[in-house]
Amino acid sequence: MRAQFVLSEIWIGLRRNLTMTIAVILTTAVSLALFGTGLLIRSQVNAMKDYWFDKVEVTVFLCTSSSSSARCKDNGPATDDQKGQIQRDLQAMPQVRRVYYESQEAAYQRFKSQFRNSTALVQVTRPGDIPDSFRVKLSRPQEYRVVASAVAGRPGVDSVLDEQASLERFFTMLNGLRNAAIGVALLQIVAAILLIGNTIRLAAYNRRRETGIMRLVGASNFYIQLPFLLEGAVAGLIGGGIASTLLVAVKLLFVDRLRSSFLTVAWIGWESVIQVIALQLIAGVLISALASFVTLRRYLRV
């Protein structure tokens, strides 16, 4: 009987303040969807970092007769002794897993393969324009600066290309997007809390006669507050469900389509989405219930 009464009160409360209830649900859904998107972006960034940083290389370009840098013009092309010493020093570093030597001809062939769709660029590039180099595979990619600084400026070295520096700028941009999404989500959550509080306060005011009668017949504080708490929790749960549906749509319509187009990129899987969905549903219920509880403590005199 008591359970039936509580459920009926929940339904009456949600229906009586239908406009406010819809506003609460939509605000909660938007805030949780943005928050979940931020979490998914974080998971995607971490997956891509683990994948790409494991493949990152440091490329040491050597001086050739066509090098334009002042150092190479003054000292001339790299000698065999200089090349051998650079290779031995690189191989001796604990941060280095493997060192490959790439001749000018091999580098030119790789260049033509990479830019085979840019015919004009390939035609104006001569084999001598691309220097020979050492391509260094790292065992500890996070210490790429140690390797780069160890060979930069040495005799026979024209320049050092650090792929991880470029990747870090890219991931910094992605982290900025993540932080922006979470920041907007937090503002939306604050708005949702205020809206939930106002809705529950209005519901408590509209039902002040019923709660007064319940108090007179000896109902406990918890029993009087329970319908209001559950109203907020149900609205939050529905909002979390909508947000979860939006995340599933993002995974199906965007992530999976991008995965089929960019096969070499590490993409998040369903396990990450399910974890975020569970967090969204829990957060939706807890935020709404807590906002309702705090409001009732202030406005429902029981």
pLDDT above 80: residue 52 = no
- For a pLDDT cut of 70, what percent of the chain falls above it? 79
Q: What is the pTM of this model?
A: 0.61
Q: Can you tell me the distance from the alpha carbon of 31 to that of 192, in angstroms, rounded to the nearest whole number? A: 8
pLDDT in tens, 154-213: 888 888 887 666 667 777 777 777 788 778 778 877 877 777 777 777 766 766 676 666
pLDDT in tens, 212-225: 666 676 666 666 67
pLDDT in tens, 82-122: 999 999 999 999 888 889 898 888 888 888 887 777 777 77
pLDDT above 70: residue 153 = yes
Token code pair at residue 196: 């939930």
* First-residue to last-residue Cα distance in the chain: 22
CA 153 to chain centre: 37
Burial readout 198-212 (b: 16 or more C-beta within 10 A, e: otherwise)? bbbbbbbeebeeebe
| CATH architecture of the domain formed by 55-163 | 2-Layer Sandwich (3.30)
Q: Can you tell me the distance from the alpha carbon of 164 to that of 58, in angstroms, rounded to the nearest whole number? A: 8
In which residue ranges of the chain is CATH 3.30.70.3040 found?
A: 55-163
pLDDT above 90: residue 245 = yes
Q: Can you tell me the distance from the alpha carbon of 231 to that of 42, in angstroms, rounded to the nearest whole number? A: 32
